[in-house]
Chain A
Amino acid sequence: MITGFITFFTIFAVVGAILYGRKLIKTEKTDAVFGNPERAKGGVHWVVVGSSFLLLAWLYYSWDIAKSFYPKSANELCQVAKVNESLLSLKYLFPIVERQHKSTAIIKRENVNIEDKIIIIKNDDNLKDQDKEIFINILRNTKIMIPSLTDERYLEDSTKNIINELTIRLNKLTANFPKNSYPNLSEEEENEINEGLKKQLGWGATGMEVPPLPESKRGLKFHAAAVELNSISDEFFEMRNHNPEYLRHSEAIFGEIKEYMDGLDDGLELDYIKDIKKLVRRLEYASIFPPKTLDELENSIRAFDKVQNKEQGHLRTIDILLFPAGTIVASGPQCSEAGPGRWLPKPSDTFRIFGEMLKPSVGYKMIPMLWYEMMGVNKIVGFILPDWIADIMPGKYPVHNQDGTVDPNFKSKVLDVVTGEFEAFKIPVPTGHIWDSFLRVFLGLSLGIILGVPLGLFMGLNRFAKGFFDPMVELYRPVPPLAWAPLVITVFGIDNVGKVFLLFMVSFSIMIISARAGASGTQLSKIHAAHSLGASRWQIIREVIFPNSLPEILTGIRVAVGMCWGTLVAAEFLAGTTGIGFVENVARKYMQYEVIWITIFVMGMLGLLFDLTIRKIIDKTIPWRGKG
């Protein structure tokens, strides 16, 4: 419903924006010359067109348009797919999908196989002549056996009867299928389907599943036909053309093989005879019939196929138009989406699941995406203050009394504070996957900035510092951050410490390099000016070199944020129990395509947010950039 509305709305928006754009071209004369950069300015209406196209492509290729305009289409297509699946093995017998009759193809192939094998046996010098003779004899006999299957004279009446019976059943189905009264279900069968329908969920309700039980009149028709076709097909393939003539031949051949194999040890001979046995067995189970025997059946199948195609009606059009690049396929009683509808989640489903995930009580894997929890101030204090503060206090920790009580003293009270064992009010603290990822980036980046900027400035000003620290930085910096991940995670653990350290490594080198470039890029005249204005060394660093390096440093931070974000998500892929990358990795394991796309979207938005924030900071703090 909403999807349908959005579809129409976007189409209108596209048309409107295009018309507006055309009108604008006619009125604008100021940028008439091609190549004038003014021509690339403005154009919000084209943004509307671009984003609408994106949205329409998403709606279309995720088959959400099909779902919103024809909610039952997937279910009906599923029934059609069932019919096609049941028909397929029968169709393969005849030149409908294939070029040749299946019997013809098998006979041709096995004849070639037999001749090839004879030549190989003849040329094998490792075989004794006596064995060669036996093998070739068996193969010759097998070849002679084939006409027993293809000669009409040997065909048994019982086999003929079965084929006739199946043909009649098919013809009956063909005749009944278009009728409105079809299928004539018994009350029991009807109840069974209705019971199933009650439990059946809608299309896409549980991931990529398509509801398999027929929900419409037409669907029921195809469903019933598929059941009947399955039964016909099963019966056909159970039938074997094992007439007395064939049995006489084959028993003789198998007898010979068994006799030869008796007491035969592992070796070349055993391999050969097993191969030959396989060939004979293939012929035994192949559905080889005399050339004209199945003609009636073939005609019936063609007739039914025509009828069922006709009965699909406008469903075929829907399938072609609204299910681009794929369709619904059946495999046994189940149906699934085969095509972009499978891996490109429908916008409607995606937003529904996203909304569900955002609920703090649901989240993902029992952890909310972004929420808060009440945490006692004591816990925070205990986390921040190190325990050794209590150790360095004067005095000794109290010893218990004779009556089993402990009198607290100053030292033990301090210990209570630094370990967070005291009563305190609670404050809300953010929590959840998104917050965890954000916090890791923030901590890693902050550490990198706090340590990297001073060191970078120092390296930009001092020959010793540059020479001393350069090898260290240059050795680890060019390594892709993720290459460090296994090592860092092993040393620092899969939880926050490891990831924060990895991100620190990423941002540290970037900050060093940018601060260094900033420091060494300071104009000499500015430093001269500061000197002759009476600034001390420290003042020159703080008042001249640092502000002068700010543009480089902030650009470095911007680069570092991007790098950290990319590294973090990959690191969360590797190990961990929270974070947006973790969510995607789990979703990948369970093939939850909606969740995968949601995480991709969230990551993109967060990355954009980081970048925008830093761009704002850059504009605010260094308006002089490029104007000095």
Chain B
Amino acid sequence: MSDLVSQKVNMIFSSLKGETVHALKDITFTLKKGELLTVLGPSGCGKTTLLNIAAGFLRPSSGSINLGGKEINGPGVERGMVFQQGALFEWLTVNENVNFGLRMKKEDPIKTAKKVEEWLDIVGLKGFGNTPTYQLSGGMQQRVALARCLINDPDLILMDEPLGALDALTREKMQSLVLKIWKETGKTIILITHSVEEALLLGERVYVMAPRPGRIHKEYKLPFASRGLKEDLREIKNDKEFVSKREEILTMIWDMEEEIMGKEI
């Protein structure tokens, strides 16, 4: 029932000078509960705008996004968000960060403490509860951000390039973690990424977006995410099908980029 339905979402930014930017045009899609969607595209294609609308931080110029039949107009607990830099509250410890959402709901601190411990265990941060977040590495910070988001038990998780700032090794580990959490919790996830490889690995469905105006250019349904739950990610990466899909999408994005550059020249 709690499907994410986007109907003809348009987003037009206009400056005071009268210039307008058509950031999103007629975005229509349906995401069933438990699906993992990755969104790819060259910079400026409106990926983050789409995510912000889904999160409720922006109102679309026209059209609407519904979650479970209810129109989204404003941020809410049922849609959790994970940001590129973690956006942790550095004045709080790991425990307090993860606890934040529950504390805002004024839940019983004893119960929440138990929950926090469970989630820290899941994301692999057992024993780091009292560490100040500014002492954590980038990967650990993203684990905290994930736990902080998941502890609220949201219906939809929105991830805005969550692994973009991590080094290759940490990134791979985190990709496995995302898949693991997806499988264990069965959450609906939208993940935005720059990396074609990541999009293919994690995305049950992949949208490739095109800029000016931002629109869904191509849609894929891929088996790699479900395979990634069982197989080693590195093996999948060397899979022939994977490689050919990757090259196809890369070429597509290259063409788009070239088109933009050409226009500008």
User: Which chain B residue has the least Cβ–Cβ distance from A623?
Assistant: B132
Is A197 an interface residue when CB atoms closer than 8 A count as contact? no
Is A2 an interface residue when CB atoms closer than 8 A count as contact? no
User: Which chain A residue has the least Cβ–Cβ distance from B85?
Assistant: A525
Is B101 an interface residue when CB atoms closer than 8 A count as contact? yes
A-B contact pairs, 5 of them (CB 8 A): A523-B87, A528-B87, A533-B80, A534-B104, A624-B90
Question: In the complex, what distance in Å separates the CA atom of A627 from the CA atom of B148?
Answer: 20
Distance between A623 CB and nearest chain B CB, rounded to angstroms: 7
User: Which chain B residue has the least Cβ–Cβ distance from A547?
Assistant: B91
Chain A residue contacts of B83, Cβ below 8 A: 525, 528-529
**10 tightest A-B CB contacts, nearest first:** A531-B75, A533-B101, A525-B87, A534-B77, A627-B134, A624-B90, A547-B91, A628-B90, A532-B81, A529-B87
Contact among A525, A534, A544, A623 for B152, CB-based, below 8 A: A534
Contact among A523, A528, A539, A622 for B104, CB-based, below 8 A: A539
User: How many residues of B are in contact with the other chain, CB < 8 A?
Assistant: 28
Distance between B51 CB and nearest chain A CB, rounded to angstroms: 10
Interchain CB contact under 8 A, A532 and B55:
yes
Chain A residue contacts of B132, Cβ below 8 A: 623-624
Chain B residue contacts of A497, Cβ below 8 A: none
Name A's B-contacting residues (CB within 8 A): 523, 525-526, 528-536, 539, 543-544, 547-548, 550, 622-624, 627-628
Question: In the complex, what distance in Å separates the CA atom of A550 from the CA atom of B87?
Answer: 17
Is B109 an interface residue when CB atoms closer than 8 A count as contact? no
Interchain CB contact under 8 A, A526 and B57:
no
Question: In the complex, what distance in Å separates the CA atom of A517 from the CA atom of B134?
Answer: 22
Is B127 an interface residue when CB atoms closer than 8 A count as contact? no
Distance between A622 CB and nearest chain B CB, rounded to angstroms: 7
Chain A residue contacts of B158, Cβ below 8 A: 532
A523-B87, A536-B104, A627-B134 known, 6 other contacts, Cβ within 8 Å: A526-B89, A532-B75, A533-B77, A533-B104, A534-B77, A547-B91
User: Which chain A residue has the least Cβ–Cβ distance from B91?
Assistant: A547
Give B54-93 as 1s and 0s: 1 = Cβ < 8 Å from A's Cβ atoms.
Answer: 0111000000000000000001110111011101011100
Contact among B80, B91, B149 for A548, CB-based, below 8 A: B91
Is B128 an interface residue when CB atoms closer than 8 A count as contact? no
At the interface, is chain A mostly helix, strand, loop or mixed? helix
Interchain CB contact under 8 A, A532 and B134:
no
Chain A residue contacts of B85, Cβ below 8 A: 525
Chain B residue contacts of A627, Cβ below 8 A: 90, 134
Question: In the complex, what distance in Å separates the CA atom of A285 from the CA atom of B58?
Answer: 102
Interchain CB contact under 8 A, B77 and A532:
yes
The A-contacting residues of B in range 171-208, CB under 8 angstroms, are none
Distance between B107 CB and nearest chain A CB, rounded to angstroms: 11
Is B105 an interface residue when CB atoms closer than 8 A count as contact? yes
Question: In the complex, what distance in Å separates the CA atom of A539 from the CA atom of B89?
Answer: 13
Chain B residue contacts of A523, Cβ below 8 A: 87
Is B100 an interface residue when CB atoms closer than 8 A count as contact? yes
Distance between B157 CB and nearest chain A CB, rounded to angstroms: 10
Chain B residue contacts of A543, Cβ below 8 A: 89, 100, 104
Chain A residue contacts of B80, Cβ below 8 A: 532-533
Distance between A505 CB and nearest chain B CB, rounded to angstroms: 31
A523-B87, A526-B89 known; A531+B101 contact, CB < 8 A: no
Distance between B214 CB and nearest chain A CB, rounded to angstroms: 20
Contact among A531, A532, A533, A550 for B91, CB-based, below 8 A: A550
Give B11-32 as 1s and 0s: 1 = Cβ < 8 Å from A's Cβ atoms.
Answer: 0000000000000000000000
Contact among A528, A531, A534, A544 for B89, CB-based, below 8 A: A544
Contact among B56, B81, B104, B149 for A535, CB-based, below 8 A: B104
Interchain CB contact under 8 A, A622 and B91:
yes
